[in-house]
Chains A and B, each alone.
Chain A
């Protein structure tokens, strides 16, 4: 029997049943790293390539494609729309999810199962199906709202809210928000003071994490934008899809926009992993880590 390591922090680094760093595990991690990084590298090179048709690497490099992206009105508008949409949706979700999550903990436990049913829907149901349903419903009930940006905002807020809810609710549970509120109340704090001085500061990490997930989901989402508004409100993914299917040689511009949204994603993911310190994946007990367009 190999000498048992001192059991200090469980499940970290004591690593008995794990195979030692065998050749097989290096191969596995190496292969997966190549598989994950190669497409990123290819897009990156295309974003800077002049001509690239015959050799392993591009013939030359240039910043022209980024200049195109930032000057062509249609692309600039699409980027702006996506940013504004994601921002508004994130704000809306914060405003409606926080009070509901808080109230379900301190005042009325019966709210919770209702929110959880709601959160399960976008977790498993394809966004395309949800978008289809929304479009039909709006067409039946309030046709004048069909194909407006308002429906897109509401639909996006609905499919993205679980990310915020899960991370805020987790933060509230970790902070013991019920006891904190009660203590503040006992000390004579007014409701407004409780919310701004106690509740929000103690769940700040949860709010930031959840907001990032909502923002990223909305920014990359294609199906809701296509079904609910379509060409009337061309977001960046809609423009990209159009450019891709037209195959009019906009390869490099596509690469540049992909790098832009990808850069945004990387920054957001870095913040996520940093704030979560490696615990981003709270996925098992009903939560989830699902971002990005489907």
Chain B
């Protein structure tokens, strides 16, 4: 239908014939857009406008003037600095570990027979979606003071001291629980980019397995693996519910994260809203940059796609 030339008089699906050019333009516009209006309105009011408001808000002073003060104050304050650095370190650690563990799994899964593959996909889907408060609780029931693993090891007489939920290591351990499966699910389709006959070709050229991976396998898959890393990084830095379950409001106990700080300001401290606002816009910056980089990576990766 849309492939027909514009001069061709067509009857559009589901609506009366489009009026001739020049006549009844308003009706044309309405007919072109009306069914999409509710969704576009929702996107505009609940996603775009709030994001823009936060951006503007982070540059607005108490008198409503434009200023960089908020940013300067946040960047110079100790607590905020710690939170920013910790959030970035945590997300980078989680993403790197997820990639190191997830990439081989994804590769092996992509060449697995369908029954085992289906079972693994089911397990990964469930685990990847087991997040938020429920997962936080699962951490305590596994590695908490009376957690299953803790009890098991201690009753064997081992002096086992699990990482506290509110500690950096505790958070890494829990964040990986959803992010390894998500990483696998994310990069799995990309594994098809590496074609099986290339391995045969490499063997004909008497390459070893290691050479094949270094010269062909890794370079072809790298864009997908890196794209997955970026998304896991972005998602990890934005995790709130799970971190809240583990570390509480965060202010007093243990680890400081950007999201926990935003959350606790929103819960209790109206006068500090501007601070939460700046931190939120920083998170937005991370998200935008990594989305653009993600797109670029995928474009690179898809070059080899057939």
Contacts and interface: CB of A to CB of B under 8 A. Distances in A.
A245 interface: yes
Interface residues of B, number: 125
B142 A39 contact: yes
Interface string B30-50: 011101101110110111111
Interface residues of A, number: 125
Given A45-B148, A115-B39, A216-B129, 10 more contacts: A17-B196, A39-B141, A137-B49, A154-B42, A181-B13, A191-B15, A255-B137, A281-B121, A281-B188, A289-B125
Interface stretch (B64-72, B74-82, B235-243): B235-243
Interface string A53-71: 1111000000000000000
Interface of A: 1-2, 4, 7, 10-19, 25, 28-29, 32-33, 35-43, 45-46, 52-56, 95-97, 99-100, 102-104, 106-111, 114-115, 117-118, 120-130, 132-137, 140, 154-155, 157-159, 161, 178, 181-182, 184-185, 191, 194-195, 216, 220-223, 226-227, 237, 240-241, 244-245, 251, 254-255, 258, 261-262, 265-266, 269-270, 272-273, 277-278, 280-286, 288-294
A17 B185 contact: no
B95 interface: no
A12 B240 contact: no
A261 B134 contact: yes
B89 interface: no
Contact of A283 (B39, B47, B185): B185
A251 B147 CA distance: 11
A132 B54 contact: yes
Contact of B138 (A10, A245, A258, A289): A258
B85 interface: no
A111 B33 contact: yes
B186 A32 contact: no
Given A129-B283, A136-B54, A273-B122, A158 B46 contact: yes
Contact of A195 (B12, B14, B124, B284): B14
